[in-house]
Amino acid sequence: MSALFLPYRLAGLELSNRLVVSPMCQYSADDGCANDWHLMHLGMLANSGAALVVVEATHVERHGRITHGCLGLYNDDNEAALARVMLSARRAGSAKFGIQIAHAGRKASAQKPWEGAGPLPPNADPWPTIAASPIPWGPSWHTPREVTEADMERVRQAFVSSVKRALRIGFDAIELHMAHGYLAHGFMSPVSNKRTDQYGGSLENRLRFPLSIARAVRSVVPKEIPLGARITGSDWRPDGLTPDDAVAIAKALKDEGIDFICISSGGVTADTRNPTEPGYNVPIAARVKKEANVPTRTVGLILTPQQAEDILAQSKADQVSLARGFLDDPHWGWHAAKALGAEVKRPVQYERAGPKLWAPAAAKG
Ligand SMILES: Cc1cc2nc3c(=O)[nH]c(=O)nc-3n(C[C@H](O)[C@H](O)[C@H](O)COP(=O)(O)O)c2cc1C
């Protein structure tokens, strides 16, 4: 019996297996609005074999987007556009859908990857950015304005408002983006947070604003709907957040009523690099799962079905997510099921593929 394909329950959400499509920005929205690209992309992933697909970082305010092409849920047009896409994407396949809610902080006002991935130049309609401290993400990046108490209140309310919109659209799970150097992670990390007020200094202080977001959001998310956070397992720098901190952060978020933690890592500054070995976040996830005793998902160079299977069979995580693997092979979950002797739900239109297609070859040996 494959551990990867065992059903899993997260709060009130029943999932048919433990495979998750990691959120992936498509940089293809129109002023925050999803369009036919997203419909095609998400409809495809609804049939990937993963029980849960997490929609890309979706931003709580216009200036909180990473690029001009990032998704948002900051106005009625954004909500209507995403509602249309999700209605159709759900009809295409059987996956449940979560959504990642985000604010890009000092990494906002950036170019799309295929336009340079740097900060937006003056002729490309850049905008002012905000962050824990007025320190640019990298040498040529915009200098953010230090977040004020008024900004905190506005952004917190924007998170609540976006999450309410996501719930109205019918998302099955909500994930707060607290990793990869964006606003919340920027507060948590001592590398990017140099504040001297009650929001800087000790870990307790650095967590104060991010935890207040989690608390405010939790108060509007019904308890059956899983609410989680993607956090950083390590800043991969001696002066940054460590796996010990990740355990402490996970515990603090759990105390705010968070249902799951996704362990990712990296991105605190432009020049930090993640390890390149397969499953580099898995040992950190295993610690968080055990020591914080919270349902834990992980991500990062999980490449083969057997690798995913081993992570779960050895109880190093409760769910595994893949990003690039699903872009490379949108039926990754189908092929993993085949490799591990499990089954996944396929649309009736595609029933002639899969086990029936492979059976004669198997019989011949
Ligand atoms: C095209 C692309 C877009 C991404 N966008 C997001 C995102 O919106 N939110 C997020 O937390 N991570 C994002 N990531 C990171 C992935 O979710 C994942 O954590 C990372 O790629 C490592 O997993 P992998 O080795 O399976 O690709 C993105 C990655 C890719 C390749």
pLDDT in tens, 18-64: 999 999 999 999 999 999 999 999 999 999 999 999 999 999 999 99
User: How many angstroms separate the alpha carbon of residue 23 from the centre of ligand 1?
Assistant: 6
Measured CA to CA, the distance from residue 78 to residue 58 in angstroms comes to 10
Beta-carbon contacts of 134 under 8 Å, excluding residues fewer than 6 positions away, are 143, 144, 145, 146
Ligand 1 near 319 CB (within 6 A): no
Contact 298, 263 (CB under 8 A): yes
For residue 8, which of 47, 49, 51, 46 has the smallest C-alpha distance? 51
pLDDT, tens digit, for every residue of 62-76? Answer: 999 999 999 999 999
User: How many angstroms separate the alpha carbon of residue 326 from the centre of ligand 1?
Assistant: 11
Ligand 1 near 25 CB (within 6 A): yes
pLDDT at 182: 98
CA 322 to ligand 1: nearest atom: 26
Indicate which residue's Cα is closest to atom 5 of ligand 1. Answer: 24
Measured CA to CA, the distance from residue 206 to residue 185 in angstroms comes to 9
pLDDT at 362: 65
pLDDT at 365: 60
Ligand 1 near 324 CB (within 6 A): yes
* Coil, strand or helix at 35: coil
**354 pLDDT higher than 80:** no
pLDDT at 361: 67
pLDDT, tens digit, for every residue of 315-337? Answer: 999 999 999 999 999 999 999 99
pLDDT at 284: 98
Ligand 1 near 55 CB (within 6 A): no
Indicate which residue's Cα is closest to atom 22 of ligand 1. Answer: 300
**363 pLDDT higher than 90:** no
Measured CA to CA, the distance from residue 236 to residue 232 in angstroms comes to 10
Q: How deeply is 212 buried, as exposed, middle or buried, from its count of CB atoms within 10 A (0-12, 13-18, 19+)?
A: middle
If one residue of 22, 42, 299 were mutated to test the ligand 1 pocket, choosing by the most ligand atoms within 8 A of its CB, it would be: 22
pLDDT, tens digit, for every residue of 82-135? Answer: 999 999 999 999 999 999 999 999 999 999 999 999 999 999 999 999 999 999
For residue 164, which of 104, 96, 221, 88 has the smallest C-alpha distance? 221
**355 pLDDT higher than 80:** no
Q: Give the Cβ contact number of residue 205 at 10 Å.
A: 16
Contact 112, 56 (CB under 8 A): no
Q: Name the packing angle between helices 243-255 and 203-218 (round to 10°).
A: 40
User: How many angstroms separate the alpha carbon of residue 356 from the centre of ligand 1?
Assistant: 33
Largest CA distance in the chain: 71
Measured CA to CA, the distance from residue 344 to residue 7 in angstroms comes to 11
Measured CA to CA, the distance from residue 244 to residue 283 in angstroms comes to 12
User: How many angstroms separate the alpha carbon of residue 291 from the centre of ligand 1?
Assistant: 26
Beta-carbon contacts of 212 under 8 Å, excluding residues fewer than 6 positions away, are 152, 156
User: How many angstroms separate the alpha carbon of residue 161 from the centre of ligand 1?
Assistant: 25
% pLDDT > 70, the chain? 98
Beta-carbon contacts of 363 under 8 Å, excluding residues fewer than 6 positions away, are none
157's tokens: 């309310």
Average the pLDDT over 260-268 and give the result: 98
* Coil, strand or helix at 77: helix
pLDDT at 358: 74
Ligand 1 near 22 CB (within 6 A): yes
Which residues are tagged catalytic? 182
b/e 174-199 (16+ beta carbons within 10 angstroms → b): bbbbbbbbbbbbbbbbbbbbebeeeb
pLDDT, tens digit, for every residue of 193-224? Answer: 999 999 999 999 999 999 999 999 999 999 99
Ligand 1 near 104 CB (within 6 A): no
pLDDT at 318: 98
